[in-house]
Structure 1
Amino acid sequence: MRVILAPMEGVADAPMRSLLTQVGGYDLVISEFIRIVDQLLPEKVFYRLCSELKNQCRTSAGTPVRLQLLGQHPQWMAENAVRAVELGSRGVDINFGCPAPMVNKSNGGAALLKQPDTIYQVVNAVRKAVDSSKPVSAKIRLGWDDKSRCVEIAQAIEAAGATELTVHARTKEEGYRPPAHWQYIKQIKDAIAIPVIANGEIWSREDYLNCQAISGCDDVMLGRGALTVPNLAHVVKAQQAPLAWQQVKQLLLQYSEFEIVSDKEKYYPARIKQWLKFIARHYPEGEQLFVELRVLKQTKDILSLLKQA
Structure 2
Amino acid sequence: MLGFTTKAATAPATTTATGWAAELVQTATLDLIEQLVGKSIYPILRDIGGRFTFGRNGVVSLPSRSSGTSVAGSFVGQSAPIPVRQAAFSSTPLTPKKMAVITTLTREIAEHSTPDIEQVLRQAIQDDTSVAIDTVLMDAGAATTVRPAGLHNGVTPVTAATGGDFTALVKDLKALVAALITSSAGNIRQPVWILNPVQVLSISLTQNGGGDFPFAADLNNGTLLSYPIAASATVPLGTVALVDAADFFTATGDEPRFDVRDQATLHMEDTSPQPIAVAGTPSAVSAPVRSMFQTDRSR
TM-score range, shorter chain: under 0.3
Tell which structure's C-alpha radius of gyration is larger.
2
TM-score computed with the length of structure 1 as normaliser: 0.26
Q: Which has the higher contact order (CA 8 A, sep 6+)?
A: 2
Q: Which one has the bigger helix percentage?
A: 1
TM-score computed with the length of structure 2 as normaliser: 0.27
